[in-house]
């Protein structure tokens, strides 16, 4: 298992280096002038040029890249001009908010999609099967920002069941003591029930938005994988042996159908990290997605580069965890890779 982990890490290093190069070059060719933006509309050309020199933007691009890589090797992601804080500090303070929202939406999707996909495969042509197809079609057809706006309109403006979509807590609640950075877990650990209720109410709609987006691929692949396994010889043998339908479906069929589902979970999680950018803007969620968008609008290079690098690292870590999960679920996969 350790050898597999090391091999995967070595293969991801070139991809990570490519992300650094491409992201750096893209931020330099995007429209907008950082110096002009921060100098203001009334600034003189001399003042703009002075700011450009202070930021090092007047130097050749290869020299800028060499300086960036050198600082990156020291763990310095640069300084955010919009917040005035180091990018690494901004990412540390905002990443838990994005991670909590993404995981909440993914868990919510799993709770619904897995049973729905299994039931649709077991009872083909039933109401559950048709519902699975409708959910899958709606999930891939509706843009995530449209789903978020629709939920806000319905549950906040029309029904009044949801609080105003203005962050992780309402205006009357204070953040719990930091333990994990996840308000739901930290408030429970501190015994602050009211803070937990406030955090749950605030995360419900954005989490539901991401869950609807994630439902479609998970339910669809669960149904397809279960259909393939239910027609296998070992399942028919288990039924002929007199085992209960529940034991056959859960213990035998789903266990052998879970590998494609795990692969899809990795893809869905990466998609959710991208969808977070739109959801955070709709719900004023203080995560890394909204942080990167604000920096991009201001032509602030360092936060954008730090955001892309952080997402690339998360994606690599996620793929490593999926590879390890393969070996735990099916030891034959780990022995074949070794």
Higher model confidence: residue 9 or residue 80?
80
Convert the pLDDT of each residue in 10-42 to its tens digit: 777 787 788 888 888 877 776 666 777 676 667
Query: At residue 333, does pLDDT exceed 60?
Result: no
pTM value is 0.81
Say if residue 93's pLDDT is above 80. yes
For a pLDDT cut of 70, what percent of the chain falls above it? 92
pLDDT at 2: 64
Residue 338 CB partners (closer than 8 Å, separation 6+) = 3, 4
Residue 225: what pLDDT? Answer: 85
Give CA–CA dist 209/86, Å, rounded.
Answer: 31
Q: Rounded mean pLDDT of the chain?
A: 80
- Paired tokens of 303: 């936060």
Tokens at residue 220, please? 């669809």
Q: Tell me the C-alpha to C-alpha distance, in Å, between residue 267 and each of 197, 264, 294.
A: 31, 5, 26
**CB neighbourhood size of 251 (10 A):** 13
Write down the pLDDT at residue 316.
80
206 HSE (CA, 13 A, CB side): 35
| Predicted pLDDT at 1 | 58
Q: Give the whole-angstrom CA distance, residue 158 versus residue 183.
A: 27
- pLDDT exceeds 60 at position 332: no
Distances (CA, A) of 41 to 53, 84, 246, 247: 18, 20, 69, 70
In DSSP terms, 79 is beta-bridged to: 86
- The string of pLDDT tens digits covering residues 275-284 is 888 888 888 8
pLDDT of residue 337: 47
Of 202, 158, 164, nearest in space to 183 by CA? 202
The DSSP secondary structure of 95-135, one letter per residue, reads: HHHHHHHHHHHHHHHHHHHHHHHHHHHHSTTSHHHHHHHHH
Mean pLDDT over 56-85 rounds to: 81
Query: Would you place residue 327 in the very low, low, confident or very high pLDDT band (cuts 50, 70, 90)?
Result: low
> What's the CATH fold of domain 87-337?
MetI-like fold (1.10.3720)
Tell how far CA 302 is from the center of its chain.
21
């Amino acid at each position: 298992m350790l050898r597999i982990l090391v091999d995967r890490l070595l293969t991801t290093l070139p991809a990570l280096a490519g992300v650094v190069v491409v992201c750096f070059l893209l931020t330099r060719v995007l429209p907008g002038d950082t110096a002009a933006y921060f100098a203001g509309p009334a600034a003189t050309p001399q003042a703009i040029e002075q700011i450009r020199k202070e930021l090092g933007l007047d130097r050749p691009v290869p020299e800028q890249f060499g300086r960036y890589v050198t600082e990156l090797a020291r763990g310095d992601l640069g300084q955010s001009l919009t917040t005035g804080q180091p990018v690494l500090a901004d990412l540390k303070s905002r990443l838990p908010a994005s991670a909590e929202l993404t995981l909440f939406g993914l868990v919510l999707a799993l709770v619904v999609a897995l049973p729905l996909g299994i039931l649709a495969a077991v009872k083909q042509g039933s109401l559950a099967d048709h519902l699975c197809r409708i959910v899958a079609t709606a999930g891939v057809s509706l843009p995530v920002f449209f789903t978020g706006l629709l939920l806000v309109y319905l549950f906040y403006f029309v029904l009044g069941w949801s609080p105003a979509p203005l962050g992780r807590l309402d205006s009357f609640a204070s953040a719990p003591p930091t333990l994990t950075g996840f308000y739901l877990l930290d408030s429970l650990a501190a015994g602050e029930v009211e803070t937990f209720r406030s955090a749950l109410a605030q995360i419900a709609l954005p989490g539901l938005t991401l869950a609807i987006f994630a439902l479609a691929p998970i339910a669809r692949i669960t149904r397809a994988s279960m259909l393939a396994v239910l027609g296998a010889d070992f399942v028919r043998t288990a039924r002929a042996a007199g085992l209960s339908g529940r034991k056959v479906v859960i213990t035998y069929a789903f266990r052998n159908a879970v590998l494609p589902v795990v692969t899809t979970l990795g893809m869905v999680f990466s998609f959710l990290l991208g969808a977070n950018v739109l959801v955070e803007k709709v719900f004023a969620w203080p995560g890394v997605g909204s942080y990167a968008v604000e920096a991009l609008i201001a032509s602030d290079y360092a936060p954008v580069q730090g955001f892309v690098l952080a997402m690339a690292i998360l994606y690599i870590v996620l793929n490593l965890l999926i590879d390890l999960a393969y070996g735990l679920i099916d030891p034959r996969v780990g022995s074949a890779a070794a």
